[in-house]
Structure 1
Amino acid sequence: MSCCGKRDDDVLGSSRGCVCEVVRAIKDIQDNAVEEECRPCLTSCFLEPLGDLTAPSRRKPADTRVFVLKTKDGSPFHAFFRDGDRYDHDCVSIFFRVEEIFDNCCATLRVLEPKDKDHKEVDLLSDCGTKIKLSKICKVFNFESTDSCITVDLNCFCAVQCIKDVFLGICD
């Protein structure tokens, strides 16, 4: 058996998992982003053009579709990052930007730092610092690019949820 209860031959053969296909679509949409496109979107990861998933207007063009991956048990996948603030301990995020997809649904994901309405850091960890505290996710409204990336096998996730389209100023 492999991830999400699929047999290994289901995952490795010609059929790809839906998470892989959605992340491929996100990458294509990001690559085809055009500044003038400004139509409102709903919440589907497949909606084009790249634009704000949560509000019809935006000040800057979007270059990133922020998404969350979920594991077999439904919990959000997380990764570590380093930011420029050496005094804090908010080094975990569940938010990603796809940078590259290669081989059999492997991807390089950029870890995005969660920020609140005032662009202040949001620490997603519980008070004891050992688990993601889901109630803190509701405080996240903005995102900042980090220099931290992670390589993942997209076939090992059971769900992908698109969160928001944002402008991070990342060069392709």
Structure 2
Amino acid sequence: MGCGRVEDVTDNKKHDRGCVCDVVRAIKDIQDQATNDECPQCPTNCFLEPLGGLVSPAARHRADTRVFMLLTKDGNPFKAFFRDTDNCDNDCISVYFRVEDIFDGCCATLRVLEPLDANRHEVDLLNEEGTKINLRKLCKVRNFRLTGSCITVDLNCFCAIECVADVFLNVCD
């Protein structure tokens, strides 16, 4: 058993299942529900319900997305490319995602979210050389925008998940 793996016995068969898979599945369920429960004690818990629980209570009814980051085995944020609508810049990498679908046990389709600052300007997360994520730039991100880019991942390949925010992105169902 590897990083974060638990054994799952279903139909008398043993399967390895990672905790990241369980959390992403829970996020998907939370995004699909609209309930009004009391606020739990930990304000950034990925299992926090209802959707909008990671923001102020007044904004709960407007949230339709739980934004999260995935961390690789070495502790680095998992990054993905997205098609940027600007042709004149190079800020087409993000570490922020929205779950769109989960299938085949622990595979997921994730929508890549474009990172924006407090003024809704794009945040280029790369270092000056354009080769690695500059972790300090993650602190500038305050908003997100849907992109048209989705990726399919095996959630068993990640060791950690960090829920970032509950936001309203006007997602069509």
Listed one character per residue, the Cα deviations across residues 3-61 of structure 1 (whole Å, up to 9, x for unaligned) are: 53869999x94342100000000000001135xx4965611000100005143432861
Tell me the alpha carbon deviations over residues 84-128 of structure 1, each in whole angstroms, 9 at most, x when there is no partner: 111111000000000000002000000000000000000000000
Q: Give the gaps of 5 or more residues in structure 2.
A: none
Tell whether the 8 Å contact from 1:108 to 1:149 is kept in structure 2 after alignment.
Answer: yes
The answer for the alignment partner of 2:18 in structure 1 is: 17
RMSD of aligned residue pairs (Cα, Å)? 2.6
Alignment of 1:18-167 (within 5 A): 18-33=19-34, 37=36, 42-58=43-59, 61-167=62-168
Structure 1 length-normalised TM? 0.88
Distance 1:161 1:76 in 2: 10
* Cα distance in structure 2, aligned partners of 1:87 and 1:29: 37
Distance verdict in 2 for CA 1:46–1:59, change over 3 Å: closer
Distance, in Å, in 1 between the alignment partners of 2:97 and 2:44 is: 16
Helix, strand or coil: the match of 1:144?
strand
Closer, same or farther: CA 6–122 of 1 in aligned 2, 3 Å: same
Contact 1:117/1:140 (8 A) holds in 2: yes
**Matched residue type, 2:23:** V
Q: Contact (CA 8 Å) 1:40, 1:53: kept in 2 or not?
A: no
Query: Runs of 4+ in structure 1 displaced over 6 angstroms?
Result: 7-10
Count of matched residue pairs: 168
Same amino acid, percent of matched pairs? 64
Cα contact 2:68–2:161 (8 A) shared by 1: yes
Unaligned runs of 5+ in 1: none
Structure with more strand by fraction: 2
* Cα separation, 2, equivalents of 1:122 and 1:72: 25
Instruction: Give the conservation status (yes or no) of the 8 Å contact 2:114–2:147.
Output: yes
In structure 1, C-alpha distance between the alignment counterparts of 2:24 and 2:58, rounded to whole Å = 24
* 2:3 aligned counterpart, secondary structure: helix
Residues 98 and 113, structure 2, Cα contact 8 Å, conserved in 1: yes
CA gap of 1:81–1:73, structure 2 versus 1, over 3 A, is same
Task: After superposition, give the CA deviation of every residue in 1:48-82 in whole Å (9 maximum; x if it has no partner).
Answer: 00005143432861000000000001000000001
What TM-score results when the alignment is normalised by the length of structure 2?
0.88
Q: Is the 8 A contact 2:6 2:17 kept in 1?
A: no
